[in-house]
């Protein structure tokens, strides 16, 4: 469970890439954003990729939280319209994802755990939404926003990162990382 230098380097590189993806999504988000607030939660999961993909690859405590915070910092540095809120959202999403991995002592990275991680990142984002103005909406709107954000997180922050990680592993890129060693033991 000890962090190695290559784990840190890969985490930072992938978090920077994810931060760039988040910045692109910042630009596209208003174009697909809808007037119905709960449907906005369905779009949130694309901001949870880092807190799913990176811990899936390196499998270390704190990877989800650190990756999401670094990605949020990069997104902000690239000129995100959300400003310092990025760090608050990144912290909340990273903590949510980290909780899922901690529940299994950072040893279970099954599709169910990955989906739970994404859903809890969605819960973290929803809590942030609530305290940054979402509490002005009626209860059913807030509930649906939370629900849709969790579903989006399970898909884009859980399933998608697992598929990406598995594809990178099959390509032979991840042999020296925790994901490669776990798969090698099974094979």
DSSP annotation string for 119-156: HHHHHHHHHHHHHTTGGGS-HHHHHHHHHHHHHHHHII
Alpha carbon distance 124, 179 (integer Å): 26
Q: Residue 182 above 70 pLDDT?
A: no
Separation of first and last alpha carbons in the chain: 21
Q: What is the pLDDT of residues 106-140, one digit of tens each?
A: 999 999 999 999 999 999 999 999 999 888 898 89
Alpha carbon distance 186, 80 (integer Å): 42
Mean pLDDT to the nearest integer, 150-177: 91
Q: What is the pLDDT of residues 44-82, one digit of tens each?
A: 999 999 999 999 999 999 999 999 999 999 999 998 888
* Residue pair 68/55 in contact by the 8 Å Cβ criterion: no
Domain limits of the chain? 5-178
Instruction: Please spell the DSSP secondary structure of 26-50, one letter per residue.
Output: HHHHHHH--SSHHHHHTTGGGGGSH
* Residue pair 41/147 in contact by the 8 Å Cβ criterion: yes
Single pTM value for the model: 0.89
pLDDT classification of 176: cutoffs 50, 70, 90 = confident
Q: What's the pLDDT score for residue 118?
A: 97
- Of residues 36 and 63, which shows the higher confidence score? 63
Q: Residue 177 above 80 pLDDT?
A: no
pLDDT classification of 186: cutoffs 50, 70, 90 = low
pLDDT classification of 33: cutoffs 50, 70, 90 = low
Q: Which fold has domain 5-178?
A: Arp2/3 complex 21 kDa subunit ARPC3 (1.10.1760)
In three-state secondary structure terms, 174 is coil
Alpha carbon distance 119, 79 (integer Å): 27
92 to 65, 140, 142, 166, 171: CA distances (angstroms): 9, 22, 17, 26, 32
* pLDDT, the chain, mean: 90
* Residue pair 61/1 in contact by the 8 Å Cβ criterion: yes
């Amino acid at each position: 469970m000890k962090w190695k230098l290559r784990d840190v380097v890969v985490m930072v590189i992938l978090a920077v890439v994810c931060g760039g993806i988040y910045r692109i999504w910042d630009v596209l988000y208003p174009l697909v954003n809808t007037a119905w607030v709960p449907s906005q939660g369905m779009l949130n999961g694309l901001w949870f990729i880092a807190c799913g993909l990176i811990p899936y690859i390196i499998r270390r405590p704190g990877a989800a939280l650190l990756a999401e915070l670094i990605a949020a910092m990069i997104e902000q540095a690239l000129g995100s319209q959300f400003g310092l809120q990025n760090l608050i959202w990144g912290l909340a999403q990273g903590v949510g994802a980290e909780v899922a991995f901690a529940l299994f002592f950072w040893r279970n990275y099954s599709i169910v755990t990955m989906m739970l991680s994404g859903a809890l990142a969605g819960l973290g984002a929803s809590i942030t939404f609530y305290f940054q103005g979402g509490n002005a909406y009626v209860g059913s709107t807030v509930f649906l926003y939370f629900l849709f954000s969790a579903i989006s997180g399970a898909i884009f922050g859980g399933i998608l990162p697992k598929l990406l990680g598995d594809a990178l592993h099959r390509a032979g890129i991840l042999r020296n990382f925790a994901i490669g060693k776990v798969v090698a033991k099974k094979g």
